[in-house]
């Protein structure tokens, strides 16, 4: 089967000498929902930033068989929608419309196409009619949804989300999980929230100290208490 994401022996060192990733191997196939779990500082976010070339390590990452290189970046960023943890960072425009339209406009779509994509993305996350609102007037749950809409408007093949449920109350959290379930594309989710993992992801990758220490069926991994304890995911 064609791999959606193919990472072979990837290492990454931050400019200050900290090693973010060590020899990471990861293949993701179509139709999969993958959870990336691990303690703070395990390298989850660092890994996510490699999926669309914001960070580039020593070896090649391939997205839908395209190597992550300067000349492919635009195509790759169209395919991989990356949602950052803090919606205040993701939503940088003065109103919701401009934010959701930012990606499509950068990709050079015509105005009518942009409007159509924005409307569809907002409808998808259930906040249609919010176009002219300013991000400062939204609740955290709404901001999270709109942050997801900002990449859905690009019709990505892979949705990469960093901590989608952080700072959400249980009700907003479960309605967000329902929303994510509806979305058809491949999802890669970095999180500490094991309830989310169980509800949404069939496959789980455990990271610690920049390495992948376990990779397999979610049920198996979440039931392996010794493994979770060893990596600070259970007490």
Partner 1 sequence: MKHSFIDEYSDLDSFIHRLDPRTKLIASLAFIVAVVLTPANNWRVFAFYFCIVAVLLILSKLPPLYVLRRSLVIFPFVFLIAVFIPFFKEGEIAGSYNIWLWQISVTYSGLFILANVMVKSWLCILGLILLSSTTRLADLLKGLRQLGVPKVMILILSFMYRYIFVLADEVMRMQRARDSRNFGGSRLHQIRTVGNMAGTLFIRSYERGERIYAAMLARGFDGQVRTLHKLSFRQTDAYFGAVFCLMLIFPCVIWW
Phi/psi for 144 (5° steps) reads -60, -45
Q: Does 98 bind partner 1 (CB under 8 A)?
A: yes
**Spatial contact of 158 and 188, defined as CB atoms under 8 Å apart:** yes
Tokens found for residue 54: 């914001």
Q: Does 9 bind partner 1 (CB under 8 A)?
A: no
CB of 52 to partner 1, least distance (A): 6
Phi/psi for 47 (5° steps) reads -65, -45
CB of 98 to partner 1, least distance (A): 7
Q: Does 92 bind partner 1 (CB under 8 A)?
A: yes
Query: 104: how many CB neighbours lie within 10 A of its CB?
Result: 23
Q: Which of 1, 40, 65, 89 binds partner 1 (CB under 8 A)?
A: 89
Q: Which stretch binds partner 1 (CB under 8 A): 21-29, 122-130, 147-155, 187-195?
A: 147-155
Q: SS3 of 152, please?
A: helix
Q: Does 218 bind partner 1 (CB under 8 A)?
A: no
Q: Which of 14, 25, 67, 111 binds partner 1 (CB under 8 A)?
A: 111
CA distances from residue 88 to 44, 101, 103, 136, 137 in whole angstroms, order as listed: 20, 17, 17, 9, 12
Q: Does 155 bind partner 1 (CB under 8 A)?
A: no
Phi/psi for 23 (5° steps) reads 45, 60
Counting residues that bind partner 1 (by CB under 8 A) gives 32
Task: Note the residues at the interface with partner 1 (CB under 8 A).
Answer: 49, 52, 54, 74, 77-78, 81-82, 84, 86, 88-90, 92-95, 98, 101-103, 105-107, 111, 114, 132, 135-136, 150-151, 154
């Amino acid at each position: 089967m064609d791999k959606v994401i193919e990472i072979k022996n990837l290492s990454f060192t931050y400019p200050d000498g900290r090693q973010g990733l060590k020899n990471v191997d990861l293949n993701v196939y179509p139709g999969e929902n993958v959870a990336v779990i691990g303690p703070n500082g395990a390298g989850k976010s660092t890994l996510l930033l490699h999926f669309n070339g914001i960070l580039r390590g020593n070896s090649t990452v391939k997205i839908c068989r395209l190597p992550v290189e300067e000349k492919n970046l635009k195509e790759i960023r169209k395919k991989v929608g990356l949602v950052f943890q803090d919606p205040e960072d993701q939503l940088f425009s003065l109103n919701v419309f401009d934010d959701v339209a930012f990606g499509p406009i950068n990709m050079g779509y015509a105005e009518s196409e942009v409007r159509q994509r924005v409307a569809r993305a907002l409808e998808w996350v259930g906040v249609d009619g919010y176009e002219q609102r300013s991000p400062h007037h939204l609740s955290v749950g709404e901001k999270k949804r709109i942050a997801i809409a900002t990449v859905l408007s690009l019709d990505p093949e892979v949705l990469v989300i960093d901590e989608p449920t952080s700072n959400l109350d249980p009700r907003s959290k479960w309605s967000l999980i329902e929303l994510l379930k509806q979305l058809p594309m491949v999802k890669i989710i970095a999180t500490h929230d094991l309830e989310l993992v169980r509800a949404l992801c069939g496959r789980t990758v455990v990271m610690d100290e920049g390495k992948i220490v376990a990779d397999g069926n979610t049920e198996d991994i979440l039931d392996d208490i010794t493994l979770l304890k060893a990596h600070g995911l259970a007490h």
